[in-house]
Amino acid sequence: MTESEVHDKIMTMKEAISKFIRDGDTLGIGACASNIPYSAVHEIIRSKKRNLHAVQPTSMFEIDMLANAGCLREVSFSWSVRLISGVRGIDRAIKEFGIKINDYSNYTCALALMAGAYHMPFIPCCDSVYHSDLYSWANEGMFTRIKDPFSKEKEITLVRAINPDVAIVHVQRIDRKGNAQSWGPLGTARNTAVASKKVIISAEEIVDEDIVKRSPNETIIPAICVDAIVHEPWAAHPTEVVGYYDFDRISIMQYISASVKLPVFEKWASEWIHGVEDREEYIKYFIHKYGFDALNRLRAKSYPSSAPYTLGSTYQTELEKLNIKLEDIDLNPELVEMEIDLKRKGGK
């Protein structure tokens, strides 16, 4: 990857949303309670994107915000958290504006994204889905039944794949090429990203490639999948990012209280979304209103990591193990056959 290609990926959230999200797109939101990409959600609302189809198995307030702001025409999900009585944004969008709801379970929505990530048109699910209201009430094109090709006597239930046009995901850190690392509750972040045609990643930190290489198991999304990198500390506020900050329950309750009446939501949005230019201004406004101590209390305290594990190896190629040089193969092609033969016999 050239330096110019790396530079082209790094941009502001405003640039990323403008460049990659179009009205009418299917939007995959890669989060489950933690690492929710609220910075991206707020920019989508600020940018007045419309007629989006949001896909997310488990939603906190992100789909509700988008619904309250009039950004959605369709939602594929299993539930949106409810912590208050009354008509929330998603309820209002269904009852008053008739947005389409594709009612999945956590399991089947996650399967649809898994199928999309693995480039499969569909994926089998457990038979209990067929015997539930999920199947009998499902919209056309969500599920189907076919003869089991391995057992002609039975049928199996299939979930159709979902491939979003664009995914928004927030992670703890990412390198300049786009290798994204995250830990804690990941939900469907990886499969949502890999299933999508375009991927926008916001991150608490942009780190050197060597840091990513030293902890490869934390890489959930490879650079080849990533189209936009946004350095965005506090992008998941008011929810948590493991290792960085905790839930801000006061800010969460403020949104919940505002969500049940459209005029109150609009007042809240004018303050916290439209009243700031970007996430940096959002945090500055938070500090101005509540003080730096209120923000600092949310920061994660250090916690001893689990016991380190070794990733060491001999770091020898098969040729080095057999003490064969490439020039030896050029001079004696039969060595290639010998190498294969030695490997077959356990080669000493």
**Residue 348 — very low, low, confident or very high, per pLDDT cuts 50/70/90?**
very low
Using CA atoms, how far residue 155 sits from 122, 139, 143, in Å, is 15, 20, 13
Using CA atoms, how far residue 301 sits from 203, 242, 244, 297, in Å, is 19, 10, 8, 9
Sheet holding 143-147, edge to edge: 122-125, 155-160, 143-147
Structure tokens at 191: 């499969």
The answer to whether the CB of 47 falls within 8 A of the CB of 18 is yes
Using CA atoms, how far residue 136 sits from 65, 100, 143, 323, in Å, is 29, 17, 10, 64
Residue 184's pLDDT is 92
Residue 84's pLDDT is 78
- pLDDT mean over 255-280: 96
The answer to whether the CB of 170 falls within 8 A of the CB of 29 is no
Closest CA to 186 of 194, 177, 175: 194
**Residue 338 — very low, low, confident or very high, per pLDDT cuts 50/70/90?**
low
SS3 34: strand
Query: How many CB atoms neighbour CB 130 within 10 A?
Result: 15
| pLDDT averaged over every residue in the chain | 91
Residue 322's pLDDT is 77
All domains of the chain, ordered by start, with CATH? Answer: 3-121+162-296 (3.40.1080.10), 127-160 (no CATH), 313-348 (no CATH)
